[in-house]
Amino acid sequence: MTIPPKTRGVKDLVPLLAILASVAYPFVVWLNIDTINPRWFGVALLCIAIIRVVFMGSMRRVSDWLLTAIVVLFCAAIILLDSTILLKCYPVMMSASMGLLFLASLNDKQSLIERFASVGGKQLPSEASGYLRRLSLTWGTLLLLNALVAAWTAWYGSLAMWTLYNGLLFYVFIAVFIIAELVYRQYYKKKHNIVED
């Protein structure tokens, strides 16, 4: 008996759309900040957060709820205060929240990246645990450092500088880091004779 392939629905597109919205956000602000009040951006961001919750269904972890609550409160602050600075601090809030989640997970039995790696009941080799915990620490630190740079661009940089950093340079840095980590991971596996099932 063959198992039919899993059909993909709208729910499967939500993570991709969330990533695309994050990348596009600084450019949308840059193009429209002079013509649209910040509170309307806040309303749009709030709608995106609500749609994400609806399509995620039951959120599995406290961290999912915590991040959603932070985003909702931040959007509410943008709407109530109609603040351009808060609008530009959205990438700061997202990066700092994710960085803190990575670092907080180091106090758990499994770090955030260990949880990602063991999705679907996959058994991780014991040699991988230390590496994945250090990787969670590195991601957390990297995201907090990004939050500091993004905050500087929001408060002291021009709109063009803020857009360039948050809409392009940060993603280039992340891509370089991911490629470097993948190369190092292969070296680490070879050095420790880690063979994945």
Would you state the pLDDT for residue 3? 47
State residue 182 phi and psi, 5-degree precision: -65, -40
Do 41 and 53 touch, CB atoms closer than 8 A? no
Residue 61's pLDDT is: 64
* CA distance linking residue 129 with residue 119, whole number of Å: 14
Res. 25: pLDDT tops 60: yes
| Cβ atoms of residues 37 and 78 within 8 Å | no
pTM: 0.80
Asked if pLDDT for residue 45 goes beyond 50, the answer is: yes
Average pLDDT over residues 11-35: 76
Torsion of CA 12, 13, 14, 19, to 10 degrees: 130
Q: How confident is the model at residue 47 (pLDDT cuts 50, 70, 90)?
A: confident
What per-residue confidence (pLDDT) applies to 169? 95
Q: What is the pLDDT of residue 1?
A: 45
Q: Is the pLDDT of residue 59 over 70?
A: no
pLDDT tens-digit readout, 88-99: 999 999 899 899
pLDDT at 13: 66
- Of the two residues 144 and 132, the one the predictor is more confident about is 144
- Binning pLDDT at 50, 70 and 90, where does residue 138 land? very high
Please check the confidence at residue 197 and state whether its pLDDT lies above 70: no
Find the mean pLDDT for residues 73-96.
92
Q: Which residue has the higher pLDDT, 176 or 54?
A: 176
Q: pLDDT confidence of 115, banded at 50, 70, 90?
A: confident
Both structure tokens of 93: 């809030």
